[in-house]
């Protein structure tokens, strides 16, 4: 499994998991987060490997569709980059305003919850 795809699916799952069915959530979490094989998941749910594969592929497309329409993950990444850029700029200019840095930290904490 490609690490980039795994990281992306795990990130999308964090943002959109509540929009998935319980089965979709379980399969994606077991496959991507817990690194179980299709066979292991199939055995656990007493279904065929093909059924697990099909479900995972449909769920991947669904997660990508949600992201394409809602942009929650991409907007999160952009906000984090902007916050880091502002912090770096403040430090570079030696204008360390602790209040601004604290506010930026607060924004990042909210984003991570």
Domains and CATH numbers, the chain: 3-70 (1.10.10.10), 73-112 (no CATH)
Distant-in-sequence, close-in-space partners of 74: CB < 8 Å, separation ≥ 6: 67
pTM for the whole structure: 0.80
The model's confidence at residue 37, banded by pLDDT at 50, 70 and 90, is very high
Neighbouring C-beta atoms of residue 61, cutoff 10 Å: 10
pLDDT of 1 above 60: no
Position 101 scores a pLDDT of 77
Position 86 scores a pLDDT of 83
* Residue-averaged pLDDT of the chain: 90
Alpha carbon distance 76, 15 (integer Å) = 10
* Mean pLDDT, residues 36-57: 97
Tell me: the pLDDT tens digits for 60-112?
999 999 999 999 999 999 888 888 888 887 777 766 667 777 788 888 777 66
């Amino acid at each position: 499994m490609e690490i980039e795809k795994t990281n992306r699916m795990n990130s999308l799952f964090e943002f959109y998991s509540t929009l998935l069915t319980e089965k979709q959530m379980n399969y994606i979490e077991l496959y991507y987060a817990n690194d179980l094989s299709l066979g292991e998941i199939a055995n656990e749910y007493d279904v065929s490997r093909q059924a697990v594969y099909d479900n995972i592929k449909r769920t991947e497309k669904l997660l990508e569709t949600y992201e394409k329409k809602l942009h929650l993950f991409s907007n999160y990444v952009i906000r984090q980059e902007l916050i880091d850029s502002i912090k770096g700029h403040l430090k570079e200019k030696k204008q360390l305003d602790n209040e601004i840095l604290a506010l930026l930290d607060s924004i990042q904490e909210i984003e991570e919850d």
